[in-house]
Structure 1
């Protein structure tokens, strides 16, 4: 169940607001001339709970101070009177106190009740996370911001609830672990280099308890985690197994998040548990097909294939050219336009998408998936189709990045692809079905 404190949308009193402003003014008076302030959006790239920026980068979404400011201004909030470069400096190299003061005053005056949750003592979870190095603080702040920016008539879409509960669970368990670690008698004497203590005594049992990883997987990482390097005496097969398990650890949060979103879609759309078990969501289907195809098929291509199959169920035998007709095309000269030339441009663009070339912007992809959803008589499904397609594009992009980063150690693109597909081969059973069955068990317990 989602913590009610994340859903609270109460306004702060004028008296408390005055106290906050006075405290901020006092803090600014203490700043030295030339001192700069930057906002930390999370730089701890922990595998169990990475910062929100990691997930947003995977999805190809912009996440940062400048983007948030721009979105708020676009919906009618009073513009922030600082230069564009200073907006980027807010989260990078920092800004001077005068610029930062303008930003803080602008935040305080926002018509969104964020401060009531963020003030110390108002939200215990936020307070606890702020005292650790966990990325939980950034996730909780993000969730509070999302909830508080919703319009009065908006409702939290049900497909997001399992995902929010999952993120909340990861936040709670990591903060608890860090608090217990800080209470160890030897904590003050521990350093980052004491991996012979961190991994076997703390991290390894923690992952065993709170993730889908078996003891065999975690055991295989022992030498690397303690020594920080690949053992020289491993065979090629043993090295590939190590690389695969390292990637599983690195992308555990991403795959678990994807599965919780897909589980949310299924349980919010299906009328009973039997139909929940019978349905396979788009990303899960695309991944399952992807791991058994050769390198010429991308994960996004196989998601498009499934969309084509779904459209064919409502409109018999739909061709790729007909699917391409749902792609909006700009810059068509009305004086020199013909239906044939128009569809040729759309079809050419779709062929590029399927090959992983000239991929669509978020705006174009969203229009395309909305058109697809409307053609199937399900306009409301456009948003979820967009996100699921973005996920498959993110998986393809991840492989491209891995080829650049790991090909020196692993070998050719083909060899890296084999290991990446091996990682994804665990998605259906270890992630999607695992978490789906957990949620079905909860449903059956309450009925």
Structure 2
């Protein structure tokens, strides 16, 4: 049986607990989780008690993220980390602050090319751009990944931020300190800051998108006048069941710290947590479970109505970064131009396509295709291309089901600075502006 087959069989047997932000608990061995004491004088079964804090100790209780881990060895038992400078490890991976000048032009890329050499998830990360300053815990980065091999004998953790993983092709089995997450295209995974994990392929190749959030942890958006229900439901976010590795032998642990990769070789697997409880935990979420809201009379609500998760900033209502999904939905607006409208936005938008087509862009070779992406920085004018505009302006306005695509957007308060590798990439579509050519003058006085 191949490694991919073993990983898929493992994924099919996984169980989860539900609820975003809940106090979850799980034990892989009965009796491993202490009752009534976070750090008893002697933890059960000879385990070590350890707290993992994703927020400051004194942040408000509603915002505080922390988990208690009961593990075979404490995380402190490791050798010195050394910086990785080998081009094969980190030349494609960049972090904020970026040295390039932000570009006001509209940009679009075809999918990231598949690797030729054996490449795992970590080696396959390729940075498109970002903003903020990782040392100040502000901003975000946009990465793509393309892999054709599982991570073996090494694990990864990101001290700089949490990782939001959006598969576009091929499934992943994510073995974390808390247990395992199985994600396929249409799902997302959220790996909190500092949590170690290993990505194993469920198919021969895998490709997708990653948002690295340096700021406040992602949370569900407030619903305001919407009321108690709608958008993403907390119960649909699934946390893993405890599962541990009792592995002796060399394991490389790669840590991303202040934009650099550091490596240490342990004599055991650090994925050795036997039991845990807390709310600083990884999740998976099925984007098709998003409860889409929209107009049932006329006109458009703003696309913020599609927000799945948000990372708040110090300004109420202004997100450091949002995850927005354009999931299957009905369009019923009367006397309304139904595709996304022409607009300019103070926020900056990176859009990716998971499957099918997007209703404001023409698909096909050289267009907006799964695995590709577009960047519209603040106040850059964008909207439907000419073909979409002509078709939607003349369409019969009967109820229409949009269910032939799944797109998403990372929306952020600051301009996204594209990396030099993104601006010179062979898969950059240098004729992107042409999609708006032919929008002729129709004005009649």
TM-score bin, normalised by smaller chain: under 0.3
| Higher share in helix | 1
**TM-score, structure 1 length as denominator?**
0.24
| Higher share in strand | 2
In terms of Rg, which structure is larger? 1
**Higher normalized contact order (CA 8 Å, seq sep 6+, divided by chain length):** 2
